[in-house]
């Protein structure tokens, strides 16, 4: 990055501010850099710059020109791949292999994917009969909504932010983006990329800061923000919705999860164990889709718990650059939250099969936010640790005896984001999957994503769907033009 203090990017200019906050490495608690927290005036300026862009050069771009610009963004992310990898690793401490193979490539792929999709779109029209026999034709024109506020979390920083920025721009909008205060670096690199490829001024604006009483809230409440797209905690979604309610702003929310994995006795054992290790502990358990509730059919229960614990204990925890499988949690503050659930689980009667504590390295990593992968059994279905999202490397495993019982357990949740079903009986798999109250259900896998498919959750897990055409629909306003013949 070209600066040691990360700046805001407003109307095509990088801007410092009067207030700064520290960006801390979660691997050892050291300072990465300072970040300029956008003031209310700067948020206002960013929104106004976006609004102006909607009537400037950007508005005159053809779809093809817009999409070519997004391809250039993807090319430039790929050209600066190593910078993005280093920045994401510094902010999150996540495993090198994940950042290299998922986070950054998907960041670039999101721009290419939505550019291609937007190019393919055709305007629809219908002719209709009228009583005078002359008829009429209805043309549907998809217009951009206007200024879109993009508010994103820290767990997959570039990937989740571009998942929203790319379709919003492909649909012709201008954006004001706020990354999480925990992970400001790749968003700042993306602003540099936008600048370098010549994105018209004001189309992409970046403002750093926090949520309540800060940048996030200023964005949500701004009268010239026309739509809000948000990924984060369910209770933040509630706060945003309340603040957006007066102006009835459209919202797209991708929120929390308390996802179930169901392992039937006839599952391919090795694949189910390996899949559940991934689904429980990937990214230190900090993926909204992670399985925090694992249900195993009773004949397989003991064997499964033992095998999962053995594999969990082999996960190498440590620094990404030293080839660790699992990095730290995002921050000490988040570790306090996860540890409070570890304490609560014991109070609620859990048996700790493995983990449940902070590792002791005897070096600088002890100043970081590491925690051991943890497996519990023995909790009741109404225990808070079985009902509330923890967002750490932890799962509870419970036995079940029949299909109806486990469907009941899986659906007995305030959340409804994802589920994973492991069985070799495809009829049973299809039957169970169709009854899951979630946005996505995997059969014999986890985290496999086709970007064309709808993505989102039910209940506390979200509002609306993004992905493929669903994204373009959210970021567009259809106008019907009815022409009488």
- Footprint of ligand NAD on 265-304 (CB under 6 A): 288
Q: Specify the stretch interacting with ligand NAD by CB under 6 A; choose among 15-23, 137-145, 185-193, 233-241.
A: 233-241
Strand arrangement, sheet containing 251-254: 13-15, 8-10, 204-206, 174-178, 147-151, 227-231, 251-254, 462-463
For residue 229, state whether it binds ligand NAD (rule: CB under 6 A).
Answer: no
Which among 215, 162, 281 has a CA at the least distance from the CA of 46?
A: 215
Closest to ligand NAD by CB, 71 or 233 = 233
Strands 351-354, 374-377: pairing kind: antiparallel
Q: Which residues pair with 420 in a beta bridge?
A: 261, 442
For residue 318, state whether it binds ligand NAD (rule: CB under 6 A).
Answer: no
Q: Which residues pair with 430 in a beta bridge?
A: none
- Footprint of ligand NAD on 346-365 (CB under 6 A): none
Please identify which residue in 17, 173, 205, 236 interacts with ligand NAD, judged by CB under 6 A. 236
Smallest distance, ligand NAD to C-beta of residue 437, A:
15
Strand arrangement, sheet containing 5-6: 5-6, 31-37, 19-24
Q: Which residues pair with 418 in a beta bridge?
A: 440
Instruction: Answer whether 475's CB lies under 8 Å from 66's CB.
Output: no
Position of tokens 């750093």? Answer: 208
- Footprint of ligand NAD on 451-470 (CB under 6 A): 457, 461-462
Q: Specify the stretch interacting with ligand NAD by CB under 6 A; choose among 139-147, 173-181, 190-198, 350-358.
A: 173-181
Residue tagged active-site, from 33, 288, 290, 385: 288
Distance of alpha carbon 162 from alpha carbon 398, whole angstroms: 37
Burial of 344 (0-12, 13-18, 19+ CB in 10 A): middle
Please identify which residue in 239, 241, 443, 463 interacts with ligand NAD, judged by CB under 6 A. 239
Q: Specify the stretch interacting with ligand NAD by CB under 6 A; choose among 98-106, 234-242, 269-277, 425-433.
A: 234-242
Q: Is residue 67 annotated as a catalytic residue, yes or no?
A: no
CA geometry: angle at 338 spanning 332 and 343, to 5°?
A: 120
Distance of alpha carbon 466 from alpha carbon 255, whole angstroms: 12
Q: Is residue 288 annotated as a catalytic residue, yes or no?
A: yes
Site string for ligand NAD, 395-424 (x = CB under 6 A): ----------------------x-------
For residue 93, state whether it binds ligand NAD (rule: CB under 6 A).
Answer: no
Smallest distance, ligand NAD to C-beta of residue 446, A:
14
Closest to ligand NAD by CB, 350 or 418 = 418
Closest to ligand NAD by CB, 160 or 407 = 160
Closest to ligand NAD by CB, 105 or 457 = 457
How big is the chain, counted in residues?
A: 485
Q: Specify the stretch interacting with ligand NAD by CB under 6 A; choose among 91-99, 154-162, 194-202, 277-285.
A: 154-162
Dihedrals phi, psi of 448, to nearest 5 degrees: -85, 125
Residue tagged active-site, from 76, 254, 297, 389: 254
Q: Residues binding ligand NAD: what is the number (CB under 6 A)? A: 32
Smallest distance, ligand NAD to C-beta of residue 471, A:
13
Position of tokens 């960013």? Answer: 46
Which among 400, 394, 395, 405 has a CA at the least distance from the CA of 371?
A: 394
Distance of alpha carbon 102 from alpha carbon 120, whole angstroms: 26
Instruction: Answer whether 377's CB lies under 8 Å from 349's CB.
Output: no
Smallest distance, ligand NAD to C-beta of residue 463, A:
11
Dihedrals phi, psi of 398, to nearest 5 degrees: -130, 145
Closest to ligand NAD by CB, 353 or 441 = 441
CA count, 13 A, side-chain hemisphere, 437: 17
Please identify which residue in 188, 231, 279, 282 interacts with ligand NAD, judged by CB under 6 A. 231
Site string for ligand NAD, 205-224 (x = CB under 6 A): -----xxx---xx--x----
Q: Specify the stretch interacting with ligand NAD by CB under 6 A; choose among 83-91, 227-235, 396-404, 471-479.
A: 227-235
CA geometry: angle at 389 spanning 388 and 395, to 5°?
A: 100
125 sits in which H/E element = strand 124-128
Closest to ligand NAD by CB, 163 or 400 = 163
For residue 257, state whether it binds ligand NAD (rule: CB under 6 A).
Answer: yes
Q: Which residue is nearest to ligand NAD (CB)?
A: 211
Question: Which residues have a catalytic role annotated?
Answer: 254, 288
Residues that bind ligand NAD (CB under 6 A): 151-155, 160, 178, 180-181, 210-212, 216-217, 220, 231-233, 236, 239-240, 254-257, 288, 389, 391, 417, 457, 461-462
């Amino acid at each position: 990055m070209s600066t040691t203090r990360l700046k805001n990017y407003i109307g095509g200019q990088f801007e410092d501010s009067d207030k700064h906050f520290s960006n801390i490495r979660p691997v050892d608690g050291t300072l990465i850099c300072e970040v300029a927290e956008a003031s209310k005036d700067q948020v206002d300026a960013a929104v106004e710059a976006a609004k102006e862009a909607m009537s400037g050069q950007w508005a005159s771009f053809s779809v093809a020109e817009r999409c070519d610009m997004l391809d250039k963004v993807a090319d430039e992310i790929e050209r600066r791949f190593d910078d993005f990898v280093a920045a994401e690793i510094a902010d999150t401490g996540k495993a090198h292999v994940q950042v290299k193979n998922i986070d950054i490539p998907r960041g670039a792929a999101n721009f290419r994917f939505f550019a291609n999709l937007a190019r393919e779109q055709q305007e629809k029209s219908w002719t209709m009969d009228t009583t005078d026999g002359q008829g009429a034709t209805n043309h549907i024109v998809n217009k951009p909504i206007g200024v879109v506020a993009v508010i994103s979390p820290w767990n997959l920083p570039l990937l989740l932010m571009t998942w929203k920025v790319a379709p919003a721009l492909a649909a012709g909008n201008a954006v004001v983006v706020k990354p999480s205060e925990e992970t400001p670096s790749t968003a700042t690199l993306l602003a540099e990329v936008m600048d370098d490829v010549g994105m018209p001024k004001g189309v992409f604006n970046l403002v750093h800061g926090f949520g309540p009483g800060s940048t996030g809230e200023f964005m949500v409440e701004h009268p010239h923000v026309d739509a809000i797209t948000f990924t984060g905690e369910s209770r933040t979604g509630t706060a945003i919705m309340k603040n957006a309610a007066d102006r009835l702003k459209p919202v797209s929310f991708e929120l929390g999860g308390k996802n179930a994995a169901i392992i039937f006795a006839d599952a391919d054992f090795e694949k189910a164990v390996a899949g559940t290790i991934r689904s429980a502990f990937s990214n230190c358990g900090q993926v909204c889709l992670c399985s925090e509730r694992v249900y195993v059919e009773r004949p397989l229960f003991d064997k499964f718990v033992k095998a999962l614990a053995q594999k969990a204990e082999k996960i190498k925890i440590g620094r990404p650059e030293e080839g660790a499988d699992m990095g730290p949690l995002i921050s000490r503050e988040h570790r306090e939250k996860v540890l409070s659930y570890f304490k609560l689980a014991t109070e609620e009667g859990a048996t700790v099969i493995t983990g449940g504590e902070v590792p002791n390295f005897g070096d600088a990593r002890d100043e970081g936010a590491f925690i051991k992968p943890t497996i519990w059994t023995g909790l009741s279905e109404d225990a808070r640790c079985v009902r509330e999202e923890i967002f750490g490397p932890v799962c509870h495993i419970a036995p079940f005896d029949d299909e109806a019982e486990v469907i009941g357990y899986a659906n007995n949740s305030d959340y409804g984001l994802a589920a994973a079903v492991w069985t070799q009986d495809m009829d049973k798999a299809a039957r169970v999957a169709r009854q899951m109250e979630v946005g996505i259900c995997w059969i014999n896998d986890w985290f496999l994503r086709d970007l064309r498919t709808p993505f989102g959750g039910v209940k506390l897990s979200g509002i609306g769907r993004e992905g493929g055409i669903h994204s373009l629909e959210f970021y567009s306003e259809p106008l019907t033009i009815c022409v009488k013949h």
